[in-house]
Structure 1
Amino acid sequence: MEAALSSQATEAPQATIGQRLAAAREARGWTIDYCAETLHLPRNVLRKLEADEHLGIDYAIYLRSYITNYGRLLGLSIEAEIPRVQASEPQLVSTGGVSRSRHLLERYARAATYVMFTAVIVVPVAWLGISGALDHNISHLDPLDAAPVAASVAASSEPAASTAQVADATASKPQPLNAPSVVAGVPGLAAAASSPAQPLMASIMPGLEDRSGPAASAAAPVAAPAAGNGVVGAGAHSLDVGLAQASWVEVTAADGKRLAYGLLPADSTKTFRSDQDLTVRIGNASGATVKLDGNPVALDAYRHANVARFRVAVQGGSASATGF
């Protein structure tokens, strides 16, 4: 039978390899599906081999391997004819192109877009961090533990008394309209009268915003501290504050009333009496001593950056100091 199949396949000497493969398969009565399943190849590949359509099949060694295996399955010896099979290369077809100028334009336009978006995000953030978020009034605020604050209070204690005396004397005597001002002969008063009033401000902590504005004064009444010793308020519990150095003192009751808010001079003692809880802040705490109902209060436990902050808690008829 093998001889008959070979003779049938070779009857047409001009038959191509594909025609010989198809004739051998039909002579055996095999279908394309059977051959494809046996060779583990797609059916369309075998159809192209039988039609001598090699375009679209893997080139060179793969195409020749397909033909060799298919011929062996069908009992054909076609190895000698395989070199005649030319694996046609598919022709490359240009589907479109971009000019060099357009390519460069798109490339640099994309980079410029990234730079622009980066600038839009980074520049406002940097500007806010440098100018918008900084407090321009911070130059007018001094920390309580700074030496210039204590020096300014000490230097201004004596001129304050002489200024008050001169003001009383001036008010008691009528002055003609064309008379020179009496403040011109008093040292320090001429400069104060010629320049606008500039309040002396200090902050509880360095960088803390000024709390002496209209909003702060409207929130709670402020009791101006006396220059010397004295007692402020009334109540069963007493808080004694002794200052060896000039210090900022703020004492606020639980109802929001401020018993003290300002700079107290050195060598002064203040007593605050109250039946309510008190919130106490003392600047330049290294030069201050505090007693609560006659018992000393250690400020070191409540001091941070030379500013002591504590709360006087009144409960059950007794008062105690706690931090906050």
Structure 2
Amino acid sequence: MMHDSSANILGDALGCGARLREARESAGLGLAEVASRLRMPLHVVEALEAGRWEVIGATVFVRGQLRSYAKLLGIDIEPFLETTVAPAVPVELVSHAHTPRYQRWVENMGRRMVYGVITIAIAVPVWLATRSHLTEAPPATASLDAVPPPLVADAPAQSSLPAPPPVQPESSGPYMASLAPAVGRTAAAPVDDDVIQLEFSGESWLQVSGRDGRVVEQGLMRAGESRRLDPASVGSVVLGNAAVVRVQQSGSIVDLAPYRRANVARFAVSSDGSVTGAE
């Protein structure tokens, strides 16, 4: 047995369909022409006029098709829509995968711990690799203009000239001197024919070796100082910062360019007193 509410809805649907049919017939339109204009299947137009809206589909489609039909015919069917076609109600979405708050907190902490471990695994090796370079003291360096002295013993006296006092460099570098009485430190003097004269216009390192290869003098020379070397007792000479040293031999200036490398000059004194290249 049909309930009263269902009977009322069915009656309203039949009434709405009848009104659409009457308006169509008054306008002189056939079912096929209405279907063509509304671009609806013919059986949908027939169902709308017959009140068989359940065969059309969802309520939202029925409301839209009824409005399109009524607009084409120029009639108002809103009162029928309010009583017979219920508005579409959006479906309530219910989450079936709800995550408790404490579980989300644990997951977030887990992800942070993973990121932290990865960061440490990358940063620690890099830090260990660079730490030694950052903490090591830089090696002591010396100017190329100075030649570090070799560790040698003082040579025996080979000249009657008095030994000059040791020269203490101003800087705190590893400079040291071992002066033997083989040569003397004197003021500038006229150059003898058989003497090698060294005149210093700036700071320079001097190393003089005897004929036997032993160092007889070495030290830091200052601007304005000079040296007179006996060719008979000198085997080789090394001059640091050679650009500030003038060498004279037999009254002529010796060109140090052939014996210079990186501003350090090395030359030997032959048996006849001439300056030659050091081996």
TM bracket, shorter-chain basis:
0.3 to 0.5
TM-score, with length taken from structure 1: 0.35
Q: Which has the higher helix share?
A: 1
TM-score, with length taken from structure 2: 0.40
| Bigger radius of gyration among the two | 2
